[in-house]
Structure 1
């Protein structure tokens, strides 16, 4: 038997904080050594942090990374253990995303990334070059200071593997695993038995299964030991890296780390028998046949043995059941951990949330409550870093620290119900009850006097006083009156966040939390610069449907029973007066359901559908209950309001990324924000298709004859090309 003990890890790195990152790297190596591991794998770009973005273009970043690597190699960190470190490297005129493999205070090989992640949230081609010389290893001259310190002039650089005396080891970096022809296929045929995948993979709802199936597939038909390491936490941006480092052998998961955790360092150790890999491969005739005519890959020979001899005292790691979280748990733990990293690293003293008693703001409140529960639980488990951060943020003294989540929430969480004459008593009481369950410091504020002051000022300036539609006013008046309330709430939220700590003799400031969901962002069903404008938004990329199931789950599993009542209530903005024959409802205002919005969003972003292809797709999907004309009207209605309100995405609060159809303009959804919202060419094509499908003449519509019309202002200072439609309260500009 060739026994090999390996260690992989989740690390909570922070972009550009080299001290933090080095501390975590060294702790992970120490733990790996203590467990007896002879291979230690860290996540992608672990020395700098993954999310440095344009900082990768600065020479300082590269220099600092080499200095940190020198520190690791001059100490005893790599003695007796093969370590793979992720960092950027400049070779000639090119900058590469690399894994640097080190052993016994020497660099054995530098492996640049072959295929770069360059879609969705990723822009690696902006900062790095992909390594294209796959047929050989080149000689790389180390930077002068590194060369002198290590007494090592050069190192093999490129695509290849390391041939030890008793096994072969190779690197596969993140995106490479998911390419049509992944490197591990040829590497396995060349005799590589241990694969190390250093990754920077973000959390997205329901994504983990896709990732784990790739690890299993990599070794199910080829055999081998597949090690996976990932970042874990918020390292400076919208993404939460969700860990789940693991080890897979011959298609079986034998070790798995946590997906969501407040720990900065988590090391996953497994002991494997490499003879099991050799035996597995030897039993597959097709593997041997293909190996006999393989494409030869370059290697670096190292006169060193990694394996230990047969020892009855050493037990092997066996197959285990893979742990998955439900989507409801992912919504609780992912944004909850992200919020904790953001809070402890931002210098803020807490959060402030405008809590309306509706589903969205209540979801955010529940996530903050979950965060408080996770902090208390982690402290009870002996996490000294979380304890120190909680003592600092909560301003505990005399040896005290959080032991109960509601008490901790009272110190770091303000909730504010900003009611008006249009607010119902039911939502007011739901907000108060939820705040009591979570433990937040709750305020009930009336904004009527402020609204009245604005209207009086307007009347003084113009001689007119706007009225709601239910009181005989026009659509323009109705929309303007609703937007005044929404924007007042934003101003009040930021004022309270900055001054309430001073009132309560606390230092620092509070971060304002937003609560607009992904579907509202897609539809533009929010007022620009209203209380959706915040510092950060933990649910901005989560659908309304997922939030509703989360509320039902959280009512039981987080202990906030009032969430069940909140989930059951119909969504409403409560910006118009309530009458016996009229009650404002979100889905009526939008002209579409939240379920339909999710469908539109996925077709638009994930399947890259324009109006015409979306119409065709939905004719098949909805054809059993809707005519082509009805489908056409729905598609046109969506694209009209998507276009009118696209400009709002340019100021959308930075949101936790959890859904792949997020419309956020800043990083994820790179489309223009000035559209011809009539879509004259596309909508005419849809009309022609409807005519063909219905077999009858399509009546002339406004959307059919506007090729020569120029764009116009939306009348509200926004960038849509026609005015926001009537009866659309949250679509104001």
Structure 2
């Protein structure tokens, strides 16, 4: 199965100025190479049959006649390839010269798209030679002895794949043709270009391509002229860029003197999902487009099934400097939300249950930053440690040490006696470590937090994260409940990095050492007594599965509406060598089973700030009946191999 992927390429051939037959041989070689790699659609630079820098040679009949002859030869000599090719060539129609993109496959020309916006400023003089698509009268063109569709309002389609084409300057105008093509359904946008290099221009170009792919919720494939173009006054670096919905997937080496073939895959399913959920996109402002668009059917080669684009195993965690920026921004969002809630409720204190685990640590750090921002003493934050039957010395000491080193008020309230009395009251044998045994402890802790908040005119700060909410790994009306949940839209895999970021950048050495040890502590609710050596016996990931897998499943399920089979396929690629197929399938089944079963907990969540693109708030991003059935999803998983 292709799972919605389309393999595309931006090609940069070596050209010689005005040597049409040399140029088509280079183009032909790249088409064959791309075909061998399973590429389905390939784009070449603007005017690549002749080269872009022919200038006044475009007025010479010898060049134009041989350009057409070379084009027809190229089409014929690639007749054994089903790849859809887009090549730039000057063509004559209506006694006018057009800067054209010629679309062909299987030895036949499909159609011709002329350039609309012709730059005529500074180093560009295209109006000296060419006519805009808007000034043409005919919607057909004769090449050789045959007539083909002509116009900028053409979309090439196969099922859900819709292809639109624009040329160079078309992208740089206020309303690019690709915007109108996207409104009409195009989800793969190709731009054949010959943009020269200037200081700072490349950075702007990358930004422009990225933003256009995001605005259009589309794949954007850009191929620009490279080595071989005239350097009389300009230099062309050979830019091949493939972007998808704001993210650049692959790009060429600039100033390379060799031909280049830039390949990646565009996920049409993800793009279609975004268009379905983004209702602003579906409100088509077709007033911008006064002309009907013609859809031309094409038949693409089958997808090879081999992905070249990387699949990030940790989609919530950016890499490099972007991670520092992400952490800083998240804390600002959390702090801003908590500041507003504290001021609105006139709360004088913040009450947080501190376990020595990652989530409560993150909530405490947010509270500390919030009180600092409000210029309120940290002593007004009450960190309560509540040792129970499963509390280990490591987590207890980390909780106490962190509270002290951050200058927060410490309270220690053991829950053991209260829980023992409760077990007597409900006639539960405390040697039976079942769900009653565990949940009683969680609810006792929540009762303490709520009652202390009443005593201290305080606000109970929730600690549960997005991953726990997805799996329902929380005690209903226990740790599930708070007065404001600052971590509710932060996945478990990201919590670790947020705490680490604070440890490395925001605290003294004592707090740093405690935070780093908290990061290294196994994730556990600590509701079951420790082992004979006093170590954590109840490890969450042994029970529900690795959080990095669940966060991967959650991201693709909620962000793109991906099917279990596609998530399974992507997970195999992302976690190659780390988890086998049996493990991936096992926890995928667990994820969907728990996700559907535990919706009732999410339907009554406390307020909390949305931080990323994914949230499970029942008031915003995710609304699902508590009694929805997982049957269809689980059945699909059972059929996976």
TM-score range, shorter chain: 0.3 to 0.5
Higher Cα Rg, which structure: 2
- When normalised by structure 2's length, the TM-score is 0.46
